[in-house]
Amino acid sequence: MDNIIQDIDILDKNSQEVTDTVLTSKEENTGKKKKLYIESYGCQMNFADSEIVSSIMKDNGYDTTSKFEQADVIFLNTCSIREKAELTVRKRLTDFNKIKKRKPELTIGVLGCMAERLKDKLLEEEKLVDLVVGPDAYRDLPTLVGSAEEGLKAINTLLSREETYADISPVRLNSNGVNAFISIMRGCDNMCSFCVVPFTRGRERSRDPHSIVREAQDLFDQGYREVTLLGQNVDSYKWSPEENNKAWLEKKEKQGETEVVINFANLIEMVAKVSPDLRVRFSTSHPKDITNEVLHTIKKYENICNYIHLPAQSGNSRVLELMNRTYTREWYINRVDAIREILGSECGISSDMIAGFCSETEEEHQDTLSLMDYVKFDFSYMFFYSERPGTLAAKKYEDDIPLAVKKRRLQEIIDKQRKYSFERNKLDLNKVHKVLVEGTSKRSEEHLSGRSTANKVVIFPKKNFKKGDYVNVFVDDCTTATLLGNSVD
pLDDT at 359: 98
Distance CA 233, CA 274 (A): 23
pLDDT at 308: 98
Helix or strand (DSSP H, E) at 403 = helix 403-426
The sign of the torsion formed by the CA atoms of 467, 212, 165, 295 equals negative
φ and ψ of 309, to 5 deg: -90, 110
Return the half-sphere exposure (C-beta side, CA atoms, 13 A cut-off) of residue 184.
38
Decide: pTM greater than 0.85. Answer: yes
Angle subtended by helix axes 264-272 and 292-300, to nearest 10: 10
pLDDT at 258: 63
- Cβ–Cβ under 8 Å, residues 331 and 287: yes
Return the half-sphere exposure (C-beta side, CA atoms, 13 A cut-off) of residue 103.
14
Q: Does 284 sit behind a cis peptide bond, omega within 30 degrees of 0 on the bond before it?
A: yes
Distance CA 282, CA 365 (A): 29
Distance CA 433, CA 301 (A): 16
Per-state percent for the chain, helix, strand, coil, to nearest 5: 35, 25, 40
pLDDT at 13: 35
pLDDT at 259: 66
Closest Cα to residue 440, out of 414, 460, 417, 416?
A: 460
Ranges of the chain with pLDDT below 70: 1-20, 245, 258-259
Query: What does the pLDDT look like over 257-288, one tens digit per residue?
Result: 766 889 999 999 999 999 999 999 999 999 99
Query: What is the maximum alpha-carbon separation in the chain?
Result: 65
Closest Cα to residue 205, out of 228, 237, 180?
A: 237
Q: Helix, strand, or coil here: 250?
A: helix
pLDDT at 27: 87
pLDDT at 18: 42
Q: Helix, strand, or coil here: 227?
A: strand
